[in-house]
Structure 1
């Protein structure tokens, strides 16, 4: 057979098939790459924004005596090279070279008491291998070699040390002083200089925050805080530092390079961290002491993989649905091409053509239309940055194989006998008992699967649950089967009602719609999942957006919040009130209070609750009214009237229990009290209503931190994983809507010849053009409407059915996304748009048919 001639004759249909194949291959190959790129960016951001002490690998050991002491830098270097040699292969690309990033070595004492302070102040000694690159001496000089002195009849070492300027100011010390440390094994620290960090914002300092700052801790049951500060010593001082009588810890920091991490390698990285920890432990000997690995990288990767699993689950659902719908539309087009070639192939079969030749010709014509388009789509997917996943290569191949295979199988089945007698105008045979039983079993299993998913949740943590991917497919198939089996029955009722009337158009149109022919199956199987997945994507995206807004309000607690560690001056408050864009300012004081007379503590906020409620008007967070007494956390409930110590002793009656206080407290012991319980409120927090410039407010109170709800919302939305999920849901919704529209148009075109013939028959009996339009609409519209309603219902039900198995909190400020409010605007618009497209298509079809002469449709003898 002349395939070239057939291609020219059916050029329009082949062009449509090529366009659909091209779009499907671009989407199926490009979207996973874009999603994987977002996953990689999310992991790199997580590693880059986490404190270095959490993300880096730190090998530690504690010296228990002189035999385990490290006295010189060379001993540290030897061990640093050893740690890098035993790194697992998966970790080596992720670790930065020695001397770069946050890489360094240190020796520090801990819990070294300042003599005479009763154990409430600790002055530790610290050596950093790269201190000369990290600090600038702003007063005095850098430490030199230690000396000795006599103290209480004994000779003790005198370490020269330097403190940060902040520590000197907070502790009331000065350069030139000598402090004694220890309670039994004494030593002296001569403060010879003060320093500042060259770059205080460098992640390096998260490993050594005790060197820059005074660390204050509150021991359990205590009312006063302990103060810990660390003095830098020189290399010579390291030679005199011993674990004999002191808590001395050595550390080697192996920094992680975020840019080298990939999401695909994250599971392997988490395993490699565990392997490295075991390898480090095996290096322990009696002479060297016990080595261990300290790092939060395992937990960080675990949290990322849990968030990634939810993202991949959602992506798998929507991308799998997109691929299924795209294949369905392509199969519809292949069927249209087969119908157009039916007469030619039947004639070739009748003239002696073998079944292999006939089926091969149809398959070759389909391959000509799909293979080049698939290659072009595969090539275009390389414009999307991202790793080459297996689906990138396999997706276009699957599209071509399905299209060619369906065409060959359908042609072989249709033309298995030369010139078979086929009639398309009769009602399909009733399904047998076996088929009905099988379909009922599918429906029951789908419902049971949805119930079990809600009842048990996921079976694994941080990994995709195959059960979660099977249930949506089963529910979609079940909904399609129910729709196909049930939609003719209510139509037959309308047919009976129409038969009682005198108008024939309604009867004929509804009768045609009620016929359960095989031609109605494919459009339903395409439209239903297309609408279901697109509605599901729209509902999930809306649920994420709403929860993100709620999370931003819970994080900030007001349109703008200004917080300071110290009291905000009254004149600054007045300047903020007069600042452009400020509508209202509510004063508040936060702090820690004593509950009762023991050591129990609670976080508290004293605030004008009525004013706060006013600026929260319209926000998704609420606060109960309070005029006196206190609102308490669940941990403080049931106490009735209790007493707190803040500026003074105050008795408070419990007026309510709140699970959280927006912007301040989410767990633990806390309470909200009126601001007027304070004799003189020391305002350190301002809640601002308005749209003032944050930079202007920060300039008024330089020591304060200024946050806004809009900025918090933007930070949540700008997360790479969150952006990837929302962007993919939007693209898939648009693509599925386009495919659903294409399915409607194709279903109209597939039945166009038969409808044109029917209308032409009726026109010979006096059918008018308006009646022909009504007839066509009545025949097409019921199937579209019923399928649209079924898809709409399934799409709205899927989030509720899958809710326990899909944790989207990582994309909504760590709040669970469970409130899928029924905002029916977009889902209804999708269903209404498809229905409108069907009506317009029906009218367009009647316009085209009206232009045809009866002789172009009816053959001689058709009217006899």
Structure 2
């Protein structure tokens, strides 16, 4: 045949079989999209979560701060080389250059300046004492530090006066004893309006700062945007605050008002005479610049800046003892640890989706191979070589798969923009390669030798080859080894993605499918026995046809269903465990529907009454509390005084340490009955114990041990009846104290509760917590929400692909089934009997897969459950004493739900197929062979 008369193979195949070509393109488009979208979405949600964590940390939490070492600054004059805007800016540029990639800095948010670091003597109070006309009187006078922070890009909005001028007073002669001389006159300052109001400062007033300096207030400004970087350098330029200090050798705490005041370059020159002064530079990250995949490199750079080569260069280059500090590294470390704990969840979901996608792709290629079986048998009979056929089929499939994969990957890149495309493109290329190679291999698998036409072996009569047996035993051995390893060591101690966890669901699903195909003849034969003795041929015919499929073809749909059920059951168990862990964590923080508590004093009686009158509050449980009693040498425990009946009902309702109220009732004689935490119970034993408490000396005996209780704090505890405690306190002290904890039951509005508390005496020392708000807070982590969303999306995609696998398995037998139904209709088969026949033929594999998938899920939960950190997933990892452990519990609904859903969906698909065959294809099947 001349080149001119040759027929192009690919073009001819597309024209001859457009349906198969379109199906391959469509499926590779879907799988290519999923393969490219998953890594893109993983990057996107991790980047969003990191950006949210950094934004929540504020400027100080996402910045590198470079400042003078305190000791060196106190003893050196080198700080004053930065007391000019030019020198400060020059150093700012040089230090910025020391911070390398991937730390991308926000130059517009950088701040630099000088501020005083005065500490009083003998009391270690921060700042310079402020006195003068109108200054608010109190036990301690207000104290301020001076800040010079030049920023040409930032304008301070003045409400009174002007900004301080650059003129500076001169310094007087030093005293004979070496005391620095006082400035010759006042320097100028400006404060915020809230500081002026609280301290009682007036514009133009002259105030004494410390023992020797005077300052004149020339400006009062208002802070419009407290979140602006200019006001977030760790100083109190925007508003005053109250600081506390506990002097040595005393337990009393001294509170004093504190603020910072802005000054000019003239005031900066005076700082050296007032006390220790530090130069500082803040370098915040640009919002959204740091990506999750850059965390490792960022932490290495931060380590170099704070305690490495860059830190040495900074210290040697600048002789003012400069060093870098940052809160960014602990934040990144915490984020990385949480991401590593969440990795098993996302990898299991992604692995399940990838496995089912590969199975569906192979099933479609198998369907195409079945449609072209006669064509390839004829070509082989006419002398076509396997290499020649393989090359032509590879070119054909490469074109189909290339078009679909390119469209899918392009859609993923367009819809899910991300900073990294390499993983997405690699995943899409892997899909293309798998489809391009698997298609010709699948087509030629049964044509290694020229074969005559004949009937293929069915599931019931198939005799597996030795090669298949060895391969199946290898898979089973690998699955058993992986299960034992995971059960023994849990997840990878190094954290992150564990290949064993990723491959485990695939191996379990494949092993389950292999065993199910091996065992499939037994249940089919058992079901066939009673059908032989019943009237009617529908059940017998359907079950007989259920075992007529190819043994190799039966493996793929079973594998898809088992993988989907395994991933779905595991995911349902994880989500159920996360919900329970969050509920446990929220209850550990609140103890009831809401909580009002204080540690410093008793709650005011008016507050107790007002809380009980809130709308939605059904009951209020008051609890007497004494904290931090010694338990041995280092441990501490709390005394909780409760009303036995109502408190026991509350404990049973919330599920935290339920007990019989009769155990706490005291008859007026002997020691007080006590419920104790395990540590206290072990320490006290069964003997009567004496406790020296604020209520007086107490004699108690532990009558029961409970692991948790609604009113507990962070310590171990002893629960005692309240009435004897109050009587002992009255007898010992002559008065009784009120409760320190209120546990509220009902639909509590958190905003209304906080409003009531704010109006009560001593409100500043009272804390409130609402159960619904704590649940929302625990569920509000962007990283946890993103990982859960990825897993749910993977489960949904896996379920849809599984449904497609069921559809393809039905479609493979659809031509023969439609011919059979059409012929049986001519013999009197009714529509209802047709439905019954198709259901009887199609549902046994699905039913067996549902049962096997449920059993696999039952096995997967303990095998993979050890790799799941419920504390990290639920946000309760940082809570002390909650008891959220690793691992999952087996529950009925997450295990049975996916299997039941699969059966329902399969029945719907089968019914739809029966309706389609019955209404549209009878005439066509009866006219087979007619000339058209």
TM-score normalised by structure 1 residue count? 0.81
Return the offset for 1:55. 3.6
Return the offset for 1:795. 2.9
Q: Is 1:698 the equivalent of 2:754? A: yes
2-side partners of 1:546 and 1:38: how far apart? Answer: 24
In structure 2, the residue matched to 1:343 is 374
In structure 2, the residue matched to 1:737 is 799
Query: Contact 2:20–2:368 at 8 Å: present in 1 too?
Result: yes
Query: Contact 1:582–1:688 at 8 Å: present in 2 too?
Result: yes
Q: Is 1:216 the equivalent of 2:235? A: no
Query: Contact 2:314–2:323 at 8 Å: present in 1 too?
Result: no
Task: Pick the aligned partner of 1:272 from 289, 301, 304.
Answer: 301
Query: Contact 2:32–2:432 at 8 Å: present in 1 too?
Result: no
Return the offset for 1:87. 0.9
CA RMSD in angstroms, aligned pairs only: 5.0
Return the offset for 1:407. 1.9
Change (3 A) 1:179 1:773: closer
Query: Contact 2:295–2:336 at 8 Å: present in 1 too?
Result: yes
Comparing 400-409 with 817-826, which one deviates more in the overlay?
817-826
Q: Is 1:539 the equivalent of 2:587? A: no
Comparing 16-25 with 298-307, which one deviates more in the overlay?
16-25
1-side partners of 2:826 and 2:62: how far apart? Answer: 81
Change (3 A) 1:228 1:693: closer
Q: Is 1:527 the equivalent of 2:565? A: no
Query: Contact 1:527–1:740 at 8 Å: present in 2 too?
Result: yes
Change (3 A) 1:775 1:262: same
In structure 1, the residue matched to 2:70 is 62
In structure 2, the residue matched to 1:47 is 54
1:265 is paired with a residue whose SS is helix
Task: Pick the aligned partner of 2:609 from 574, 577, 580.
Answer: 574
In structure 1, the residue matched to 2:95 is 83
Return the offset for 1:39. 1.0
1-side partners of 2:794 and 2:124: how far apart? Answer: 68
Matches within 5 A, 1:255-404: 255-277=284-306, 278=308, 279-285=310-316, 288=319, 290-348=321-379, 350=381, 355=386, 359=390, 366=397, 370-381=401-412, 382-404=414-436
Deviations 1:300-337 (A, max 9, x none): 11111121123333222212221221221122122222
Query: Contact 1:178–1:189 at 8 Å: present in 2 too?
Result: yes
2-side partners of 1:438 and 1:621: how far apart? Answer: 52
Structure 2: segments with no counterpart, 5+ residues: 1-6, 127-138, 666-671, 727-734, 878-883
Return the offset for 1:209. 6.7
Task: Pick the aligned partner of 1:556 from 590, 595, 598.
Answer: 590
2:372 is paired with a residue whose SS is helix
Return the offset for 1:40. 1.1
Query: Contact 1:495–1:507 at 8 Å: present in 2 too?
Result: yes
Query: Contact 1:716–1:811 at 8 Å: present in 2 too?
Result: no
Matches within 5 A, 1:98-497: 100=109, 105-110=114-119, 112-114=121-123, 126-130=145-149, 155=179, 198=223, 207-208=234-235, 212-216=240-244, 223-225=251-253, 232=260, 239=269, 251-277=280-306, 278=308, 279-285=310-316, 288=319, 290-348=321-379, 350=381, 355=386, 359=390, 366=397, 370-381=401-412, 382-417=414-449, 420-426=452-458, 429-433=462-466, 435-495=468-528
2-side partners of 1:467 and 1:796: how far apart? Answer: 19
TM-score normalised by structure 2 residue count? 0.76
Return the offset for 1:737. 1.9
1:304 is paired with a residue whose SS is helix
1:216 is paired with a residue whose SS is strand
Q: How many correspondences in the alignment? A: 846
Structure 1: segments with no counterpart, 5+ residues: 181-186
Task: Pick the aligned partner of 1:96 from 79, 103, 106.
Answer: 106
Matches within 5 A, 1:664-743: 665-666=713-714, 668=715, 677=725, 679-681=735-737, 685-702=741-758, 703=763, 706-743=768-805
Return the offset for 1:424. 1.4
Matches within 5 A, 1:583-732: 583-588=618-623, 595=630, 611=646, 614=649, 618-622=653-657, 638-639=683-684, 641-643=689-691, 646=694, 649=696, 651=698, 653=700, 655=702, 665-666=713-714, 668=715, 677=725, 679-681=735-737, 685-702=741-758, 703=763, 706-732=768-794
Query: Contact 1:113–1:121 at 8 Å: present in 2 too?
Result: no
Query: Contact 2:675–2:718 at 8 Å: present in 1 too?
Result: yes
Comparing 147-156 with 308-317, which one deviates more in the overlay?
147-156
Return the offset for 1:297. 1.8
Change (3 A) 1:268 1:621: farther
2-side partners of 1:839 and 1:83: how far apart? Answer: 69
Change (3 A) 1:131 1:123: farther
1-side partners of 2:691 and 2:483: how far apart? Answer: 51
Change (3 A) 1:632 1:104: farther
Deviations 1:181-217 (A, max 9, x none): xxxxxx6677988999947777855834799444435
2:65 is paired with a residue whose SS is strand
2-side partners of 1:168 and 1:769: how far apart? Answer: 89
2-side partners of 1:53 and 1:407: how far apart? Answer: 57
Change (3 A) 1:665 1:735: same
Change (3 A) 1:580 1:214: closer
Return the offset for 1:727. 2.0
Change (3 A) 1:840 1:650: same
Query: Contact 2:114–2:268 at 8 Å: present in 1 too?
Result: no
